[in-house]
Structure 1
């Protein structure tokens, strides 16, 4: 198999060539102009950051990507899907409010923001993929409706997958709340009855008629009827319908790869990783610990698997930052940084599975730009 090309630019600048200029040059060299954007809807999949976490990609970079796509005749929009956990991005209103507060608004980025799976995370399209774990993938409708997929990914650590990059942003990030449940969990949801207020929304929205009230006017699930679709988790605003967190990290990684495959299936796609502020954990937390390595640069590729693999290698080859979490856990140079921080995960399983299902290639050629 021919090696995939991954293009990289460092963060050194000079007059007349700032970081936004370098990002545009990187995109062009990596081949974004080979995509026919003319009058096409281009979904720019990005993470808007959780309130209190400052490691998310700066909106200035998103504005440059938007500008390039518009110049090529496309119709770009920024998008993300609602979170499975309760937080400031669990419904479209809070999610949009968070995006706007972090600078992802039309005045700054030059395009609109659309929450991919609707108000409550229930607006999704099932994409048929027939893979090892998932026969279909529940992807936010705004993403499935797009003609072109562009991902902008903050490359960092992740407590479940080892690291988060293109595959994590595409797969987990594009799944509806029910899709996220499928990736996180191998079982049906549960009802935390202390939180149930008897609003009846889960009953009304259960397509299987698997939920009813018990004698105490609390929701209860008939597991003979429940298919684990996650609709009750998505619809409940009181954290009564909950995920059973029992999926192994390896299986979750493979499911994420399958969902990423569903997102880009039969569509032109292009991916950009920002290897900056490489914090040890996910941007979904309301804080970000100090970076584990110095800021390295920006990488781009048509191949999300090769892109993530190149970024893992760059982080593992970079010197650690003294005082970071790597010192707390007695890391030694040359060890796998992400595997050392999250020693109950194996990040390679996601990339291996991505290669197996035809999402991309772990073998890459790294092309450094001046």
Structure 2
């Protein structure tokens, strides 16, 4: 007797952004592929890797939104970082072997003084246990093989550091920083400056550019929702650029802009603007303004623009269930 299984649901053209609250232990790609399958989306991408040991905000882009994922990748990030003072590890986090334990003897005043030293532009040495590539291989591959690779310090900006909680030996910080900041390295450097050492015990991303955890959903929650409720979570493409200046174009100018033509504008010069047609829902793309000229950078196609004005297409479910072909040994045949 042949076993029957439900048919594979077709994929659909889905355009927008899902704010995912990534669980611990998942890679960013794990989370993307799972959400993409649940939503039955044809095309998807994430907006920069969030470490498997970290939780929190991972904006996922679908369809035309993938054209603008770089904006979120380049944006400032905000984290809640939990430091364990008095203990250093081989990886700078919970996964590594304990290297040294020291007594913790510092008060809030000492912590505040050290945090001030790490606010602003700082140089960071990328950790060996990171995905940064050297000669085509991730640094963590070298680290696992016991090989130390020479690295060049990187300049990043810590826009703000604030103490959320201090109960020795646990220090919880709110960190607002530029892209490329290694919070694990920051934790180790703060511990070193305090004289007791530290490692990163937990990390949660709370914001990426204008996007926050407000309204974010977990994979477990997404699985329990109805298809309509899932679709209601999809945000417009332009939410990725919500902190950029906006520019509206009349119908004729909108058509010319979509064809790549430069347009004259009275708006002040700007390095990045989001551009709309006459309908405020019709996001056309990103551009910059130089000497009174609006110059397109990333454009949506007319089909993608029109899709924003229509309801999200539902997943079509086949009416019949066909049996699964099997091999002579009883295993499912692959095609």
Per the normalisation by structure 2, the TM-score is: 0.29
Larger Rg: 2
Higher helix share: 1
TM-score, normalization: structure 1? 0.27
Higher strand share: 2
